[in-house]
Amino acid sequence: MIVNRAALDGLFRNLRAEFNSAYSEAAVTWMVIATLVQSSTGREDYRWFSRFPQMRKWVGERAVKSLAAFGYNVPNEPFEATIAVDRDDLEDDILGIYQAQARMAGISAKLWPDELVYGAVNNSFDADKGKCHDGKAFFADDHPLTEGAAFSNKLQKALKADSLANAQASFGKARTMLETMKDEEGRPMGTTADVLLVPPALRDTASILLNSDRLGGEDPNPYKGAAELAVSPRLSSATAWFLLHTSGPLKPFIFQQRKAPELVSQMDPQMHERAFMRKEYLFGADSRGAAAYALPQCAVGSDGTK
């Protein structure tokens, strides 16, 4: 093959087709637990999470909600995946390996939000890496409310389904906590438990809880059909589990997208320094975004250590 602009254009079209095909076919699950927020700047400030206005009887002047003092700014980070095509391979029409690389780049680009969102889940107990809008770890015992009040959305109970008593102490307790969450003014949030997120190690236990008629062989199971089961191998802990409210305007986690993945190229075969010095032509996907935490009242998490 003669390496010229037409040849590089054709190669780019081929690689882009492979990239787009793999991108469209790859399966992701982040949208089960996270809300997409389209970002238009370098960062987003989510302090407004702490000031959702509620209808109240109008007596006197309007009650204006002010922003929380803690600044919850989430910067958009850049990500990339690059393919370097050797000029000799292009001249010799040895392109199969690059088509495979383009497909892998497409899959990686599609899975990029999964990595960010489940990375946030994995950090959600950490007081430094997992901070939400109130300055606490997303799962914490002391989320502040107004007038010195606080609430907890954190447990340590292991998820169990071997008896009704153990199921009540784990799943049942989490469901009660989630469904009795209150806003900053002490009013019920109206949250409901609809997704149970677990790692593969807890799949069987969670499946028994949500699908079996009985627990431990004898006890009737009041939790059958209580939530949808979500299993992710991206969860780093084999014991942690999460009960989520995902049917509201905001899911517990956020995927913040500034720029969607797109395959681009550097095409000049004569002038580009890399093409001249290293006989390589570059094609790659780049994107910008981040993961963040929404309202802690929309989730209960247990590290499963007890």
- For the chain, give every domain's residue range: 5-51+75-302
Confidence at residue 71, expressed as pLDDT on a 0 to 100 scale? 55
> Residue 1's pLDDT is what?
54
CATH class of 5-51+75-302: alpha beta
Q: 48 in helix, strand or coil?
A: helix
User: Residue 256, exposed/middle/buried by CB under 10 A (0-12, 13-18, 19+)?
Assistant: buried
What's residue 148's pLDDT?
75
β-bridge mates for residue 111, sequence order: none
Predicted pLDDT at 33? 98
pLDDT mean by block of 10 residues, the chain; 306 residues: 67 86 94 94 76 49 42 81 73 74 91 96 96 93 84 97 96 97 84 97 98 91 97 97 95 94 66 53 84 95 96
First to last CA, the chain: 65
CA distance 266 to 275: 9
Which residues are 192's β-sheet partners?
none
The 10 Å CB-count burial string (b at 16+, else e) for 217-247 is eebebebeebbeebbbeebeeebbbbbbbbe
pLDDT at 232: 97
Q: How many residues does the chain have?
A: 306
pLDDT at site 221: 96
Return phi, psi of residue 277, to 5°: -85, -35
- Distance, in Å, from the CA atom of 3 to the CA atom of 178, rounded to the nearest integer, reads 62
SS3 of 202, please?
helix
Please report how the helices 96-122 and 5-25 are oriented relative to each other, as an axis angle in degrees rounded to 10: 40
Name 195's bridge partners. 228, 244
The reported pLDDT for the residue numbered 65 is: 41
C-alpha to C-alpha distance for 245 and 227, rounded to whole angstroms: 10
Helix (H, G, I), strand (E, B) or coil at 212: coil
Of residues 300, 297, 8, the one with CA closest to residue 149: 297
Res 68: pLDDT = 44
pTM: 0.84
Instruction: Report pLDDT for 44.
Output: 84
